[in-house]
Amino acid sequence: TFVSTYVRNRTPCVEIWVGKEQQTVLAADSRFTIPRYTGHNGWIQLALRDQDCMELFQDLAIASYRHFALKRMLTKLDENSV
């Protein structure tokens, strides 16, 4: 799993694996929080409040997918993104 979705207080939220290094950088931004149970493994939480958050989520989700995907999956992703 590289992304998890849920609704919290009527707001759609996502948790994304970003790794410990990027987690530290992103946590400085007020839009992000470190999740209670998965944060120690490099996950970050983002509430999807506006279009900017959706675009940011898309970028982070693709980067996370690239970390976990097999080479053949990455090849297919790159072919489809042209």
Which tens digit of pLDDT belongs to each residue from 8-43?
999 999 999 999 999 999 999 999 999 999 999 999
**What DSSP designation does 53 have?**
H
The total number of structural domains that make up the chain: 1
Instruction: Measure the CA–CA gap between 15 and 17, rounded to whole angstroms.
Output: 7
Q: Which residues pair with 43 in a beta bridge?
A: 17
Q: State the pTM of this model.
A: 0.81
Determine the pLDDT at residue 59. 93
Whether the pLDDT of residue 82 is over 70: the answer is: no
Whether the pLDDT of residue 80 is over 90: the answer is: no
Q: What is the mean pLDDT of the chain?
A: 91
28's CB contacts (< 8 A; 6+ apart) are: none
- Domain hosting residue 65, numbered range: 3-80
